[in-house]
Structures are given as structure tokens and as C-alpha cells.
Structure 1
Amino acid sequence: MRSIIRAGGLSVLALVVAVPLLAATPAAAQQSPVPFDAQRGVFTFATGLERALPAVVQVTTLGQSEGPSSGENEPRPISSGSGAIIDAREGIVVTNNHVVEGGRKFTVDMTDGRIFDAVLIGTDKATDLAVLKIEAPSVSGLGLSQIEVVNSDALRTGDLAFAVGYPLGLDQTLTMGVISGMGRSGMGDRIEDYIQTDAAVNSGNSGGPLLDSRGRLIGINTSILSGGGGGNDGIAFAVPSRILMYVVAQLRESGEVKRGTTGAIFGSLNAQRSRDLGLGIVRGAVIEDVAPGSSAEAAGLQRGDVITRIQNRPVSNAGTVAATIGIAERGTRLDVVYLREGHEGRTTLTVETPSERTSITGADVVMARGASVRLASEGLQVFAVEGGSAAAAAGLQAGDLIPLIDDTPITGLDALAASLGGEGRRVLSVVRGGEPVEIILP
């Protein structure tokens, strides 16, 4: 589990002390909101959760050995995490991309002690998801279990949540918490619309399921926010099942995720941008520019508009919009609410097939290889990086200044578009926090 540094659970004592007051008799216990096991005389969620636990697996990634072993370079374990079987008949396991990244071979360990080889079906860096398939002559005869998946859109802040995985070298571990928030984004350069929970999540939980109180999968644990040391501080994030199932379906079908576009370049609204635009809000996605001939232009959107809702979902920042567009099929019509000069407007955006062009040049912004750049007082500055893009994979970050490309000074947007618009490798000499950083764009 990766700690986001660039980017207490519900009290059991409270349940033990408070709930019996509602359940002084067996009849009252049956009406209690907390499941009651009359035979043992305890309150428990075990019945629903136990059905899911056999489908939570440990994923081990093996990579190239650095030295010879008995005269051969045998793959060796380079990382491990957790995973969830979502299709027992086909042996389909979902986990995190960062769990399997760099691997040559993969193994899946079951709770009953069995271990299977697995093949990688596909990965999606933008959502940090990966799909494995258990290798066996007859997967259907293995007696695998699978987790029921439900739509995460039905979740509410305050719902109970259970994280399952293999943290810190331990065997399968279950922790409990609540849904702390929904629609979290802004933690990195990926498509983000996370579920936040305070269920204890640590290194090794990556790729494991987040379950509701009935043992149904509502998300895949992917990262934590840590104040230091990379340990659990009660803030963990999971990819919601709404995004998960779209990505998994595409990976199973073609091995990759193909996303559409709208032709609009989005930036996140913050306090400074809000003051510049004379707004009284600090949540939303600012349209930095609109490509000519795009669906965003056809929808009437303009530079400076602030998207506040999309598909009836509140917009926190550019990540919310990117997540909605990122899981929409080409041709999908998205309802949008926006602000322009203090007045609310409504329109419909159509998700289009991405252009073959490697760069889009607007009046004041260039978007190339996933990086959105504008001319600031300090020079050419990156203000947004698209999740899963070449720029994100290379490590380019919002706030970077770009003075040189391939040792050639770049002073304007036209020169930037010309340099990044073609094909081939580019070496960017950027300034980040006053320090030089070399970024290699493939």
C-alpha cells in the first residue's frame, strides 16, 4: 500500500455497551440494527462477511532476479499485495496496478493454502487497477469462491466498511471502520473518485476489497494518506466499484482501457483561482480552454466556466470530471451544470473518440501528451496532468516550469506545441520547487 505524501474505527465498546439496551429480549435482538447471533449471544457481522473471505487472495509478483541462481536468472518475489476473485468460473482476480507492475510471473495464494499461477490480463495506470486470471486446466473445477459486487453509488457517509487483505506480512486480516467520505480526489495524477474510509489499511492491503456490512464488494483499497512513516493514520482510499467494473470489463475484453474526450481542458478550482474569477466557492473544475470543433465547444462551454455538477454529481475539482468522463462510453451524453460570470447554466457534453493529434492548442493553453500548460509570470507552467497519460507516467507534475526541451529554450506556447506535438522521445528540463528535474517523455 502506497502512502500518499506527494500526494479510529467505530468503537466496538460502543456496540457492546449500547446495543444490548435495545435488545434486552431475544425478540428485541432480532429487531436490532446490528445482527445478533442468539446461539452465542453476541452481535456479529460474521455471517455476511464469511461468504466473501475465501475470495480474498494474496497476490505475489515475481520479477527478474538481479543475479544468477543455480546458473539461472529465476524470477524472484519483488512485491506482494491482495486481490479479490470477482468471477470464480473464469478465475478472474482484480488487484492494483502497482502490485503487479514490473512483474514477469504472478501467483495467487488462497485462504485454504492452495497456490496458483496467474497471467496478467491487463492494467490501467489511470485508476491503478489490474486484472489477473488464474491458470489451471479447468478453473471451474477448482471450487473457487467469488465476491458479490454492488454499485458504490448507493453508499452513504457513515455506512460501516470492512477492509480485507494481507497487511504487513500477516495472514488474511479484517478491519472495520466507516465510510468517511465520497468522491475524494486531488491526491495524484490519476482518475480519482475515491471512497475514503477509516478502516485500518496498511502495506499489503493494496488490491484487497473494501466490503459493506453484508460482505459485498464496494471498492478496491489502493492508497493511504499518512502523516509520516507510511503507517495507518485512519485515512484510506478505495477505487469505487462503479469505476472498477467499467475498467475490468474493458480489460477483459481488449486488455486495455480506451477513454473518450470532450475537448475541454480542465483545471481544479482553488482559493486563488476563485479570487481571480470573482467567485465565492472553492470547489469545482475550471475550463482552462476548449479545443475548436470539439463537443465542449458544441455544448457552448467557454474558457473560465466553472463546472459544479456533472451527471448530477457534485464536482470537487478536475479529478471528479476526469473520473466521470474516464468511465463513459464514446457517445455518452453528460449533463453539466456550470457557472459563468456568477450565473448558473446547464448543457450536455458528448464524449467523443480521442483525436489522433498529440497536442491541442487553445488561445492560452496547450495540452500535449497529457500535460496541460499555460504561460505564467514565471514561464511555461504545467497546471494539470491527465491520469494515465505519458506525462503522468514520466513523473511530470502540476506546478512544474518548462524552460528547456531537448536542450532547446522554449519561450512560448507555439514552440511548446511544436516540440511536443510530434512523435518520439523528448527530454524536458523542468524546474520544480526551485530545483532542476529531468523528465523523459516517451
Structure 2
Amino acid sequence: MAALTISLTTAGAAWAQIPPQMPYDAERGVFTFAAGIEPSLPAVVAITTLGAGGGPSRGDDGPKEISGGSGVIIDAAGGVIITNHHVIENGTAFRVDLLDGRSYRAELLGADRATDIAVLRIAAPDLTQVHVAPAGTLRSGDLAFAVGYPLGLDQTLTMGVISGLGRSGLGDAVEDYIQTDAAVNSGNSGGPLLDSRGRLIGINTAILSGGGTSGGNDGIAFAVPINIMRFVTDQILATGEVVRGETGATVSSLTPRRAEDMGLEIGRGAVVEDVVPGSPADRAGLRRGDVITGLEDRVVSNGGTVQAMTGIAPPGTSLEATYLRDGRSATTTMTVQRPNGPSIALGATGLSAHGARFADGAAGVEVRSVEAGSPAAQAGLTAGDVVTRAGNATVRRAADLERALSGARREITVTVTRGGETATAILPGA
């Protein structure tokens, strides 16, 4: 393919040359990425979630369609498909439609709410799997292609660029998103984000829309990167569940208001809310009120950054942390461990239970933070909730809540006030 030279007459520009490797179809006389993308398209599937919810029924007595999305085949021999947790949530059965028109019922192997990843499997011959790009090689400005089945359409391909990396802040979850401006709409969830060679770089999971609840594309979409996808998928395939590493530090996101209250001139970081005695964070010298600003070579944007990095680090991994204390910066090293502490523990500064941190406040027992993917998070508890009852017991102090939770041998219903309204959450027993 011959190089094409274009003369630029704008101010400050002289000459620019489109490099010879620019994809060009000489027979048709067009620039195209089809040669790299097309081999991956048969690996992209449509997923229909069936359950007891409303929607059109496929039969008088059969389950109804309650939601839909996309997915991508990562293992053709095993029929393994990756999609989003929110695509399969509340489903009792799942249908996978292939690009060639074939349709199969799928088995749910496992799902992880914190990373929004789910793994399905189908038994089908002659499948195509997507090639996976090496992790850690993306750069802002790289071309990106989103593939899926949006808005009830057949398979659709859109193009954009990588707008940013390491994005978090959509909530205190395991977030380390790729941001792209490739058009992603309802139905694209769970589908692949590909590079210009057709290799998988992420799983499309969320969008930000200026239209409120319309869910329209405004050029800001997020994808779970492949390092997190692989971590979750490998564990689900091996054991059926996901276990994340921990350091014993409970963290929350530093907000501008919290920074102002703490007298800080920064607006990003993770606030240490509590440290389990004897844990790696305790041995590293971290204390309540420290603000983690860096972890290894990453800037910590909020609690999600810490959750993501510690959550996918193998046990025994050492992480160098930079933190602020009393306005001074310091560094320390923490070793990631497997979760092995008690699920309910009352300390001097509050109560840790099922992944949530509770403390006595002016309004009552307040939920200070909730660890992503924990039983408390899955029950729907959020920071700012105020607990009023646990089972049949009235809750006025953290010690009341600890007695109720520790005495529950089965599930217990916790009542909270949230924004002036009452809500309930079901937590496991002791």
C-alpha cells in the first residue's frame, strides 16, 4: 500500500504524512479497519435474560424476557461467554443468540456484582472466540470499537478513542475503568470493547448520560479492563466464586467537602476509616484519618482505586502506599492477604460487620463506608444510611447493632433511614 501525503496550509503546520500502515483497501479505494475487526464479530453474542418479571412471554407457561444485553466468547472450545452482572441479574434462564442465527440456552457459571462481570457457558460447535490484547498496553488516544446489540438492533459496531484510563468514582466499587467515546447504548452492556486489530481490551459496562434516566449516548462510556475481567473469570471458572485480597484497611472516597473539613487542599484520595488490629494495614502503620493518595505507580482517585488494586492482587503481594497524615506525606508498604478476619467485630471507634463500617453519630448508628462486593453492599447498604432497627431490636448505638447481628443465626433484616425515607437490608447471620 502506497503512502498518501497531504499538504496542510493551516497556521503552524507544514506537512503531514499518513503512515504506510494505515489500513487501506486498494481495490475499493477506502481506508478501513474491517480486516482487523471482522474476524472478531462472530464472537459477539446477544444475551436475553429470562425470569418471572414482566415483558413479552415466549410461551404461556415459560419464563418471560426481563432484560437483554451483549456478550463475548472468550473460549470457543469451552463455550465460555463474558457479559455483565447487571445483564443476567434476577434471571432464571438465559438465551444466547449467535451472529449466524443459531440460538442456545446458557448456563450461568458465576457472577460478581462488584466488578459487574458474569460468566455463562453454552454447548455449541464451531464457535469463534475473540483474541485478547495484552494487559497494560492501552494509551489515551488509541482507537476503540464497541460491538453489541443496542436498542433492539442487530449487531452494531461503533468507533471512538480511549478517552481515559483508570477511571473510578461511579461509586465505591472495584472500579478501574477504561473510558471511551465510542457510542455505547442500552443493549451494549456486556459486549466487547476492541482495539483496531479486533482484540479484546474491555467489557462495556456503563455510560454517563446528560439526559437523566434516558440512558442515551453522550460520548462517555466505561469498560471493565481485561486484567480485572481475567481475575474474576479465572476464579469463577476454578471455584464458582470470587475472593478478593484485603489489607485490613476500610476506606472511603475523599470528596471535596470531606477534604475541606479535614483542611486538605486536594480533592482526590481514599480516606482510611478504620484499621483491623494486626492486619497488614496496621503493621504498615496506617491509622484512621490517613488519606491514601498513591498506590504503587497509580494515583488514587478514590476508594474504588484502592479496592481495585488490592482486590486483584494475589495474596503475598506487597503494595507501596503514599499517604497524607496531618498534612505531611509519607510512604509505607502493605502486604495483601486473603480475607480471614471475623465478619462482625466491635472496636473502639465503631463496628465492622459484613463489609460495612458503622459508627455512633449525631443521628444514630451511621453507615460510614461499605466495601464493594461485600454482603453489606449486596444487601443494598450505602454510606450515609442510619440504622434504626435490627430484627426486633431497636438500635441506638453500635453496640446494640453488634449484639443483634452476632445473635442472629440466620439472616436478619436491618432497617435504615436514607434521605428521609425508610429502607431495609437483609444481612447474613453471624
Assess same fold via TM > 0.5: yes
Q: Could you say which residue in structure 2 is the equivalent of 1:209?
A: 192
Q: Which residue identity does 1:219 align to in structure 2?
A: G
- Equivalent-residue separation in structure 2 for 1:369 and 1:200 (angstroms): 38
Q: CA deviation at 1:64?
A: 4.2
Q: Describe the SS at the equivalent of 1:99.
A: helix
Q: How does 1:50-129 map to 2 (within 5 A)?
A: 50-64=38-52, 73-129=61-117
Aligned to 1:174, which of 157, 180, 199? 157
Shift of 1:49: 0.9
Q: Does 1:160 align with 2:171?
A: no
Does the alignment pair 1:295 with 2:283? Answer: no
Q: Is the helix fraction higher in 1 or 2?
A: 1
Could you say if the C-alpha distance between residues 400 and 89 of structure 1 is closer, same or farther in structure 2, counting changes exceeding 3 Å?
same
Q: Which whole-Å deviations, capped at 9, do the CAs of 1:297-335 have from their partners, x for residues lacking one?
A: 111111111111112111000011011111122222222
Q: Which moved more, 1:345-354 or 1:78-87?
A: 345-354
CA contact (8 A) 1:66 1:73 kept: no
CA distance in 2, matches of 1:268, 1:72: 49
Distance in 2 of aligned mates of 1:258 and 1:22: 57
Identical amino acids, percent of aligned pairs = 56
Indicate how the Cα distance of structure 1 residues 398 and 297 shifts in structure 2: closer, same or farther if over 3 A, else same.
same
The 10-residue stretch of structure 1 (217-226 or 360-369) with the greater mean CA deviation from structure 2: 360-369
* Partner residue of 2:235 out of 239, 246, 250: 250
Are the aligned partners of 2:46 and 2:70 in contact in 1 as well (CA < 8 Å)? yes
Is contact 1:189–1:388 with CA below 8 Å preserved after alignment?
Answer: no
Offset, 1:223: 1.4
Aligned to 2:25: 37
**In structure 2, which of residues 171, 176, 184 is the aligned counterpart of residue 188 of structure 1?**
171
- Structure 1 counterpart SS, 2:38: helix
Deviation string 1:56-76 (CA, Å, 9 cap, x unpaired) is 111122224889x99973233
Across the two proteins, how many residue pairs are aligned to each other? 414
Deviation at 1:437, TM superposition (A): 2.0
Q: 1:282-308, CA deviations, whole angstroms, 9 ceiling, x for partnerless residues?
A: 111111111111111111111111111
CA contact (8 A) 1:122 1:131 kept: yes
Indicate the SS of the match to 1:396: coil
| Distance in 1 between residues matched to 2:146 and 2:50, nearest whole Å | 25
Does the aligned pair in 2 maintain the 1:65–1:73 contact within 8 Å?
Answer: no
Match of 2:11 in 1: none
Contact 2:163–2:181, Cα closer than 8 Å, also in 1: yes
Structure 1 gaps of 5+ residues are 1-18, 137-141
1:439 aligns with: 425
Does the Cα contact within 8 Å between 2:250 and 2:371 map onto a contact in 1?
no
Verify the 8 A CA contact 1:290 1:362 in the aligned structure 2. Answer: no
Listed as ranges, the matches of 1:123-162 within 5 Å are 123-136=111-124, 142-162=125-145
Query: Contact (CA 8 Å) 2:393, 2:404: kept in 1 or not?
Result: no
CA gap of 1:307–1:22, structure 2 versus 1, over 3 A, is: farther
Deviations 1:123-147 (A, max 9, x none): 11111111111124xxxxx222111
Q: TM-score, normalised by structure 1?
A: 0.87
Distance 1:121 1:382, change over 3 A: same
Partner of 2:389: 404
Matched with 1:338 is 323
Instruction: Quote the Cα distance in structure 1 between the aligned partners of 2:191 and 2:58.
Output: 35
